[in-house]
């Protein structure tokens, strides 16, 4: 005899589940970005993030000028999971699980209040108080607004229609310097996540009264940026638009341009894929776990834009924080091919712009003459100064040849190769990539004058050496400075 199973109601414990949801891994910048998603979806043109860092009484508020919500809409929005990931969403909707407002807020604070009003309606208010939920042991949301919330709304000059999301009891994002420092990260995150909205004027964002400028990770306006062309990558039911970029070598950027390209986490950390969902950035670099792809200093110029829509959420496994994705298996091989090509181009840029070492076996007569040569000795790679470099050769041609040779050997043997490799790996954006990178014009001029003064005085020999200098590091990078140094020595006619 078959016994029909009974359906037993098993609702979750409200207080326990909420405390668990607080551990989803949101950082303050992720949480604020999630709230801004709701504002953009509500048609906001302006979003401001304001805060009071006073210990114990501080608060964080996100205020927008969007459509606002009616009483019924707000009550529904305060439910957890109101519109799940399978629910149909209008084009451009930045939502995902129907949890963002609540989980983002609970991750940082124990009290969430929302004040909102449409153009035609009265103000609506709801408050989640986690202490009250624990006390009652059930999913109770308060439908009133307290005087403090009204005072903060008035202080911020909140205008309707629009919405204010207010956090209090900031037990996670904290107060004082912790909150102030966290807001610096919020500015950087919003500049990246909503960079396209900010750059084309669709959105205005401020944090603590400071305007947020949209970040372009690809330096698309720079003439030396390589756009490798867009491609449509398809597989199964998933489609993505892919555009690889190779940024200019740092030596071709001004200080302002280099700072802009560096981003919040540095050149090396920002290499890789930038996945955009409905023009909202999800991943800020990284190689998406594709086989064999790791961050390397030589690949730091490789950045790849990937375009998906909310219809692709399931295939790309967009997480609840909208901060991590995993590409569909059917697209991984093609994405890897594009990544390898882009990384190779980045490595080529470094070889062209930053090369200062060649193997000692390469002695091409017409090639660029380098200061350093690579050598292999006792199974280990080392580096030696090129004795054929014109300046070095001129020094060795003097009566002090023995002393010069001893000095060169001392420099070669004491070169801290291991330390250099460690430092470049740890902070590649701080390392000079080519001779005299970052040197001032006066410094370059002084060095060249000293080098020219040490050249042979016999006219024929001097003319040959000067001709060689023009294809020699570092003089090949500063031809005008070399000419000025020669003029200063009265040798302008010797070449």
Structural domains of the chain ordered from first start: 14-211 (3.30.565.10), 226-354 (no CATH), 372-494 (no CATH)
Instruction: State how far the Cα of 170 lies from the Cα of 51, in Å rounded to an integer.
Output: 11
- Residue linked to tokens 């970052």: 438
Mean pLDDT of 48-71: 95
List C-alpha distances in Å: 393 to 100, 255, 465: 68, 36, 9
At residue 351, the pLDDT reads 72
More confident residue, 342 or 6: 342
At residue 306, the pLDDT reads 97
At residue 478, the pLDDT reads 72
As beta bridge partners, residue 304 has 244, 273
Lowest-pLDDT range of 11-20, 130-139, 140-149 = 11-20
Mean pLDDT of 52-71: 95
Contact 250, 357 (CB under 8 A): no
More confident residue, 395 or 87: 395
Residue 425 pLDDT grade (very low, low, confident, very high; cuts 50, 70, 90): low
* pLDDT tens-digit readout, 159-172: 789 999 999 999 99
pLDDT at residue 431 tops 60: no
Is pTM beyond 0.75? Reply is no
At residue 210, the pLDDT reads 96
The CA-based diameter of the chain, rounded to the nearest angstrom, is 114
Mean pLDDT of 279-290: 94
Q: Are strands 204-207 and 210-211 parallel, antiparallel or unpaired?
A: antiparallel
As beta bridge partners, residue 59 has 52
CA nearest to 22, candidates 151, 128, 117: 128
At residue 175, the pLDDT reads 94
Using CB atoms within 10 Å of the CB of residue 196, give its burial: 0 to 12 exposed, 13 to 18 middle, 19+ buried: middle
Contact 350, 298 (CB under 8 A): yes
Residue 52 pLDDT grade (very low, low, confident, very high; cuts 50, 70, 90): very high
More confident residue, 33 or 407: 33
At residue 468, the pLDDT reads 67
List C-alpha distances in Å: 207 to 67, 187, 188, 222: 21, 6, 10, 28
Residue 97 pLDDT grade (very low, low, confident, very high; cuts 50, 70, 90): very low
> Phi and psi for 167 in degrees, rounded to 5?
-105, 135
Instruction: State how far the Cα of 186 lies from the Cα of 161, in Å rounded to an integer.
Output: 25
At residue 292, the pLDDT reads 92
Lowest-pLDDT range of 72-76, 235-239, 305-309, 458-462 = 458-462
Compute, in degrees rounded to 10, the torsion defined by CA atoms 451, 452, 455, 458: -170
At residue 140, the pLDDT reads 93
More confident residue, 53 or 435: 53
Mean pLDDT of 273-292: 94
pLDDT at residue 491 tops 50: no
Provide CB contacts within 8 A for 84, sequence distance 6+. Answer: 97, 98
Lowest-pLDDT range of 33-42, 115-124, 211-220, 425-434 = 425-434
Instruction: State how far the Cα of 308 lies from the Cα of 80, in Å rounded to an integer.
Output: 26
Residue 91 pLDDT grade (very low, low, confident, very high; cuts 50, 70, 90): low
Q: What is the mean pLDDT of the chain?
A: 83
CA nearest to 202, candidates 29, 39, 322: 39
At residue 104, the pLDDT reads 93
């Amino acid at each position: 005899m078959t016994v029909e199973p009974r359906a037993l109601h098993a609702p979750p414990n409200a207080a326990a589940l909420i405390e668990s949801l607080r551990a989803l891994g949101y950082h303050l910048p992720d949480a604020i970005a999630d709230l801004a998603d709701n504002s953009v979806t509500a048609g906001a043109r302006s979003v401001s993030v304001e805060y009071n860092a006073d210990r114990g009484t501080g608060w964080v508020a996100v205020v927008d000028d969007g459509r606002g919500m009616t009483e019924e809409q707000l009550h529904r929005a305060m439910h957890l999971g109101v519109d799940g990931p399978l629910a149909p969403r209008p084009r451009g909707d930045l939502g995902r699980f129907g949890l963002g407002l609540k989980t983002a807020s609970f991750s940082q604070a124990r009290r969430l209040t929302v004040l909102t009003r449409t153009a035609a309606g009265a103000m609506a208010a709801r408050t989640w108080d986690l202490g009250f939920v624990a006390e009652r042991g059930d999913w109770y949301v308060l439908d009133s607004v307290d005087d403090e919330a009204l005072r903060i709304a008035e202080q911020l000059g909140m205008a309707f229609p629009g919405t204010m999301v207010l956090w209090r009891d900031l037990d996670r994002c904290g107060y004082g310097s912790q909150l102030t420092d966290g807001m610096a990260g919020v500015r950087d995150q919003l500049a990246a996540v909503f960079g396209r909205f900010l750059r084309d004027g669709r959105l205005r964002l401020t944090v603590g009264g400071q305007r947020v400028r949209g970040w372009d990770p690809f330096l698309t306006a720079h003439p030396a940026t390589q756009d490798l062309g867009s491609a449509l990558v398809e597989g199964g039911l998933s489609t993505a638009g892919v555009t690889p970029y190779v940024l200019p070598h740092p030596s071709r950027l001004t200080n302002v341009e280099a700072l802009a390209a560096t981003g919040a986490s540095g050149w090396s950390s920002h290499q890789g894929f930038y996945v955009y969902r409905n023009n909202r950035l999800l991943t800020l670099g990284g190689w998406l776990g594709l086989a064999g792809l790791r961050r390397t200093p030589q690949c730091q110029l490789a950045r790849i834009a990937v375009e998906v829509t909310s219809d692709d959420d399931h295939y790309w496994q967009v997480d609840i924080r909208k901060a991590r994705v995993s590409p569909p298996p059917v697209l991984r091989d093609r994405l890897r091919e594009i990544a390898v090509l882009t990384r190779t181009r980045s490595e080529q840029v470094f070889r062209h712009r930053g090369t200062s070492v060649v193997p000692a076996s390469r002695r091409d007569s017409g090639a660029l003459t380098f200061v350093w040569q690579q050598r292999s000795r006792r199974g280990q790679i080392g580096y030696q100064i090129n004795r054929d470099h014109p300046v070095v050769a001129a020094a060795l041609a003097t009566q002090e040849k023995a002393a010069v040779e001893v000095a060169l050997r001392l420099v070669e043997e004491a070169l801290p190769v291991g330390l250099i490799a460690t430092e470049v790996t740890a902070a590649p954006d701080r390392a000079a990539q080519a001779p005299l990178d970052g040197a001032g014009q006066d410094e370059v001029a002084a060095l060249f004058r000293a080098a020219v003064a040490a050249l042979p005085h016999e006219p024929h020999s001097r003319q040959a050496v000067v001709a060689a200098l023009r294809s020699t590091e570092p003089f090949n990078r500063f031809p005008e400075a070399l000419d000025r140094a020669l003029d200063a020595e009265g040798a302008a006619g010797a070449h």
